[in-house]
Amino acid sequence: MELVDYSFDAGVALIRLNRPPVNALNAALISDLAEAFDAAADPSVRAVVLTGSPHFAAGADITGFQASFDAGDDDRQASGLTEAIVAFESLEKPTIAAITGFALGGGLELSMGADFRYLGEGAKVGQPEILLGIIPGAGGTQRLARIVGAQRCKEMCMTGRQVGAEEALAIGLADKVAPDEGVLALATADAASFANGPTKAYAAVKTAIRIGYDLPLAGGIGIEAEQFATTFRTQDARIGVAAFIAKERPEFTGE
């Protein structure tokens, strides 16, 4: 992975985009991200932090668009990123995007594959594709609408404006805001806490919400029941119940 730095420590994988100066998303970077997400699927990884500095990712590498125009290739630009984001979103463990600088266009779409987004105070996020005469192509209209609501998503996508950290927090697009120099440390600390938690239960929460969200209530409750039964059979469930009865802190194993 030439354009992504991958490290692992104490159950936490840190994935850092490394394509200066702004981590513009081209095919090579997206390929490296897909490889990193595949590595993070290993069961020894119990939480993931995704970041980039000084900018998380300022969007797609626009210089590649002209070649696509000339070739009549209208889907290649987004398809690889879409697949990488789905792989990130599907990881069966907690994931955090630690964002400083810009997370625009494909950068915001990438961050929305994470369970949580932590923004530095100076961060700016948005879907500015409309300013190029196009729309988001890697899930932006869909994930953003599910996070902030359809009307707010429509406004952001149709104006292309950049949203600051405090507004992002107010509309639910950010989960935490910290000083720019502290956002990665905060994300890493929270990931370490997740890495000591009941990993299979976290995965069950993600599965129940992801599958059940678009179902009628009865169907969603059925999915939840299935996931509850799955977690009830885990070793961590036994550990958690025994610790509760003994009034002790549980020491989960992730099994």
> What residues are annotated to the active site?
60, 106, 109, 129
Give dist(CA 55, CA 57) in Å, integer.
5
Conformational region of residue 172, where left means phi above 0, alpha means psi within -120 to 50, and beta covers everything else? left
Give dist(CA 11, CA 18) in Å, integer.
22
CB atoms within 10 A of CB 151: 9
Q: Of 3, 12, 1, give the one whose Cα is nearest residue 40.
A: 12
Give dist(CA 188, CA 207) in Å, integer.
23
SS3 12: strand
Give dist(CA 105, CA 128) in Å, integer.
6
Give dist(CA 85, CA 138) in Å, integer.
8
Burial class (CB in 10 A: 0-12, 13-18, 19+), 164: middle
The distance of Cα 98 from the centroid of its chain, to the nearest Å, equals 9
Q: Of 100, 24, 96, 13, give the one whose Cα is nearest residue 56.
A: 100
